[in-house]
């Protein structure tokens, strides 16, 4: 997944409280439907363990992240 697509995901989470809540509180898979991620990309994003947007974004931006 490109850095641009990660940035889009994080930007939406920053600017849309409802989306951010769904992303972090059990409705992540459904929230990702707003994007055209492949199934493999969705699974990689689903594997992120985070309680805050900062932790979520940090996990996605790690060099060894599988996304």
The confidence score (pLDDT) of residue 46 equals 95
The confidence score (pLDDT) of residue 67 equals 53
Q: Where are the domains of the chain?
A: 3-61
The confidence score (pLDDT) of residue 4 equals 87
| Phi and psi, residue 34, nearest 5° | -70, -10
Q: Would you give per-residue pLDDT tens digits along the chain (67 residues)?
A: 778 889 999 999 999 999 999 999 989 999 999 899 999 999 999 999 999 999 999 999 876 555 5
Between CA 50 and CA 29 the distance in angstroms is: 14
Could you tell me the pTM of the whole model? 0.82
């Amino acid at each position: 997944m490109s850095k641009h697509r990660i940035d889009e995901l994080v930007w939406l989470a920053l600017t849309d409280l409802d989306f951010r809540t769904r992303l972090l509180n059990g409705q992540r898979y459904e929230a990702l439907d707003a994007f055209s991620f492949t199934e493999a990309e969705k699974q990689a994003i689903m594997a992120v363990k985070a309680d805050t947007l900062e932790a979520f974004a940090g996990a996605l931006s790690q060099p060894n992240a599988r996304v």
